[in-house]
């Protein structure tokens, strides 16, 4: 390689990185105004410019997970989750000792499990738990990781007999999971991020599973009274309204 070409490449590297940082900032600003399509475009541009940028990988993965919630077509939702999983795995490889990559790998795999059959869902559940716990070990203030663990506990506790037997064969024994653990994790998530609507809604849904009707009602009402703080809040408010219809008859 000629000296002039080497110098040109050396100079171009930081410029590309700087441009990626600018796009990441634009994505963050778009999310702050709840404009997910613009955020997704900005993060994708940043990733295209710097595919080995750790932040570009996990932020694009996060945006794709959020996007999947808004889509109506299950195939399109699954494609978002598959891409998010790939990006999150890349992030984990780039910075294995940072919590965000592990966190969004847990989120992406957990969402991907929604589109898989029962046995495959149980197989994926093991990785969801492992990655969420790894994120917490790296940063015990990762509220979303506690959210993921809470939902994991609820889903595993509510598995039917056939899938519980499959889980026992897969793991040697059925993984420790309970509604009490689910409630504990989701309460912890809500304590760490009290303004986060999804934490309250999933906590309310878990109270319903535990037949704690008054607590479920209070959690849903609180969620509906909270100001918007994230791009998926509309979806979770809809879930809260639906859940309240199940709860109200039990309060009389």
Q: Which long-range contacts (CB under 8 A, 24 or more apart) does 115-122 make?
A: 115/74, 115/77, 115/78, 115/81, 118/162, 118/163, 118/166, 119/163, 119/166, 121/163, 122/159, 122/163, 122/166, 122/167, 122/170
Rounded mean pLDDT for each run of 10 residues along the chain, 252 residues in total: 43 55 97 98 97 97 97 95 97 98 97 82 87 98 98 88 75 78 98 98 98 98 98 98 96 85
pTM of the model: 0.90
Domains and CATH numbers, the chain: 21-115 (1.25.40.10), 194-252 (no CATH)
**Which stretches does DSSP call E strand in the chain?**
none
Q: Measured between alpha carbons, how far is 135 from 110 in angstroms, rounded to an integer? A: 14
Q: Measured between alpha carbons, how far is 252 from 244 in angstroms, rounded to an integer? A: 13
Q: Look at phi and psi of residue 61 and say left if phi exceeds 0, alpha if psi is from -120 to 50, else beta.
A: alpha
149-170 burial, b at 16+ Cβ within 10 Å, e below that, comes to bbbbbbbbbebeeebbebbeeb
């Amino acid at each position: 390689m000629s000296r002039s070409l080497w110098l040109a490449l050396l100079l171009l590297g930081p410029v590309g990185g700087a441009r990626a940082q600018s796009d990441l900032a634009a994505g963050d600003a778009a999310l702050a105004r709840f404009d997910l399509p613009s955020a997704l475009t900005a993060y994708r541009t940043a990733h295209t410019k710097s595919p080995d940028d750790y932040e570009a990988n996990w932020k694009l993965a996060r945006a794709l997970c959020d996007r999947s919630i808004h889509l109506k077509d299950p195939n399109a939702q699954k494609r978002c989750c598959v891409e998010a999983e790939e990006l999150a795995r890349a992030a984990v490889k780039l910075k294995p000792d940072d919590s965000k990559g592990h966190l969004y790998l847990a989120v992406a795999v957990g969402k991907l499990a929604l589109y898989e059959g029962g046995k495959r869902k149980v197989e994926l559940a093991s990785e969801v738990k492992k990655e969420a716990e790894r994120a917490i070990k790296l940063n015990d203030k990762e509220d979303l990781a506690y959210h993921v663990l809470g939902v994991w506990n609820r889903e595993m506790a509510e598995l039917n007999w056939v899938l519980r037997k499959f889980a026992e064969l897969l793991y040697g024994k059925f993984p420790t999971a309970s509604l009490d653990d689910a409630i504990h994790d989701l309460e912890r998530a809500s304590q760490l991020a009290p303004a986060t609507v999804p934490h309250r809604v999933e906590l309310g849904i878990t109270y319903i599973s535990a037949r704690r009707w008054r607590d479920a009602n209070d959690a849903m009402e609180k969620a509906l009274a909270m100001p918007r703080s994230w791009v998926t809040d509309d979806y979770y408010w809809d879930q809260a309204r639906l859940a309240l219809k199940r709860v109200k008859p039990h309060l009389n």
